[in-house]
Amino acid sequence: MPSLRIRSVETVIVDLPTIRPHKFKSTTIDHQSYVLSRVRTEDGLEGIGEASTPGGPWWGGESVEAIKSVVDTYLAPTLLGHPAARIEAALERMDTVAAGNRAAKACLEMALFDIWGQALGVPVHDLLGGLYRESIPVTWALGAEEADGVSAEAEDKLLSEGHVSFKLKMGAQDPRADCDRVLAVAKALGDRASVRVDLNAAWDEMTATRWLPELEDGGIDLIEQPIPGWNIEGMGRLADRLRTPLMVDESLQSVHDALRVCRHNAGDVFSLKVPKLGGLTRTRKTAAVAEAAGIPCHGGTSIESSIGTAAAAHVYGATANVSFGSELFGPKLLADDVSTQPLTYSDGHLRVPREPGLGVRVDERKLSTYRRR
């Protein structure tokens, strides 16, 4: 096996258009931005990685501009000369020079896995224990727009693409109007699909205590992070009051957070995301903590392109405890991509790539079109 010592790291910001606006509690996007990393070894191999934040730094604090700066200035220099296959040691090196910055570290770790897989001629999931599932069910995410438009989109995805679960964003309206909106969508879909909601920590605990029972009584099947991430004790109290599963997201941004959530019984489902957890390795470790506590995991998204989605599919597909489906709809929300070939979606599922490494490569022409200058 070649030494795989890292010779160079290049990063670029890419802005890709979406097929429609996507509304969160505090912003609306008509494009999604990414940092792409290209890590090259002395042996001539190139690995690609991606970091994404959903609509900017409002969610986790990192922005693509900051991610690129941290990678270029601090993380990349510490990895030069390091063997790409020594993943844990690479993470330790990056932790030494930069606290936090999880998406930035994930961007590079992803590229290292891509190199390692290519060198061995195996897909990344084989480096993670092998496939547990060959395809992953995909929940289609809907924005915080009005009920009529959201219902129409859900109907289309249900009938034309086989999606049978939908997640609506909340938090952009008054709680009464917001609940009426999502319950109207749930009523329109009836028992043909599962309807879930994500508040992105928009409410305080008192508001959540008042309104979450109405969502539960209206047939909502899953409630994601209604209150701020710091309030793990409050999440525990809400979980105790509800029959509907409560999913943790903003409260779960590290392996250490996973242990705290378990200790406080602060959620029924873990939302995993490769960027927020700092890479594939730490995503697997977080899932292991959940498994030890008997908590299933959901394969979350930061609206990745085909590159980041492929990486997430490898780790979700190789992890038995990711048993609550996924939300890997990112490439289908984009109007264009920077990969040479699309990922395979069928009947509401995503097929895990089988090719060596991540199984996706960069389309140089499209990269030239969409890179930020």
* Residue tagged active-site, from 145, 250, 304, 327: 327
Of 318, 20, 313, the closest CA to residue 138 belongs to 313
Q: Helix, strand, or coil here: 62? A: coil
Distances (CA, A) of 203 to 50, 55, 169, 183, 212: 31, 20, 13, 18, 10
Distances (CA, A) of 270 to 82, 246, 298, 311, 315: 33, 9, 6, 18, 15
Of 112, 102, 165, 114, the closest CA to residue 138 belongs to 165
Tokens of 356: 């060596």
- Tally Cβ neighbours within 10 Å of residue 309: 31
- 54 touches 85 (CB < 8 A): no
| DSSP letter (8 states) at residue 28 | E
- 323 touches 296 (CB < 8 A): yes
Task: Note if 327 is an active site residue.
Answer: yes
Q: Which residue has the tokens 């609509």?
A: 55
| DSSP letter (8 states) at residue 352 | P
Task: Note if 364 is an active site residue.
Answer: no
* Residue tagged active-site, from 105, 169, 273, 332: 169
Tokens of 297: 């995991």
b vs e for 129-167, b when ≥16 Cβ sit within 10 Å of the residue's Cβ?
eeebbebbbbbbbbbbbebeebbebbeebbeebebbbbb
- 109 touches 279 (CB < 8 A): yes
**Alpha-helical segments (H) within the chain:** 64-70, 76-79, 87-97, 102-120, 124-127, 147-161, 175-189, 205-217, 232-241, 255-263, 274-277, 280-292, 306-317, 330-333, 364-370
Of 278, 281, 280, the closest CA to residue 94 belongs to 278
Residue 142: phi and psi, rounded to 5, are: -110, 150
Query: Which residues are tagged catalytic?
Result: 169, 327
